[in-house]
Structure 1
Amino acid sequence: MPESRIRKQAANKKKQESAEAASETRKRRQRKVAAPGSRRWVPPTFITVGLLGVLWLVVYYIGGHLIPFMSDLGGWNVLIGMGCMAAAFGIATLWK
């Protein structure tokens, strides 16, 4: 059986509906896709913070009794050095 002819008005309506559906699909895709932030700052930051923690501990153990503020801190120096290294590990988890 031959296919019947579509009226102009019906054809235009069909085109408009498909265009609206396509634009809706585009909008949904745009909402789902989030632009990732730049993470170029992560490697230099976690290396710096980690080395700062190691350096803090080395200086404390070698000459901490000669440096006035370090001798005042006492055992807290270990917590500061280990805290810097833990913070460096936490920062490293942000690296992609």
Structure 2
Amino acid sequence: MPKSKVRKKTVYTPPGADRKTPVKVKGPTHPVYIAVMLGLMLLGLVWLVVQYLAVDLIPWMSQLGPLNFLIGFSLIVIGLLMTMKWR
């Protein structure tokens, strides 16, 4: 009886191994970006603290009413969203 042919298996190459172009790695974030990010978070915190402690002393702030919470938390959230692009 004749012997059957043995099949050769192809060598496994992981996906992307044949890729010749290097991946561009971004450098660290600019210091101004970090300062703005931290500044927005601190400004939001200060806004909320001032709203609680001195809302009666600042007439235009008392006119805003519940919008003070929206302004303070919005500043904090914008700062936190900026942390996603921080390297």
TM-score by length of 1: 0.60
The one-letter amino acid paired with 1:39 is T
**Count of aligned residue pairs for this structure pair:** 67
User: Match for residue 29 of structure 2?
Assistant: 39
- Deviation of 1:55 (Å): 0.2
| Structure 1 spans left out of the alignment, 5+ residues | 1-27
| Structure 2 spans left out of the alignment, 5+ residues | 1-19
Structure of greater Rg = 1
The structure that is helix-richer by fraction is 1
Identity of aligned residues (%): 33
| Secondary structure, counterpart of 1:60 in structure 2 | helix
TM-score by length of 2: 0.65
Superposition CA RMSD, Å: 1.9
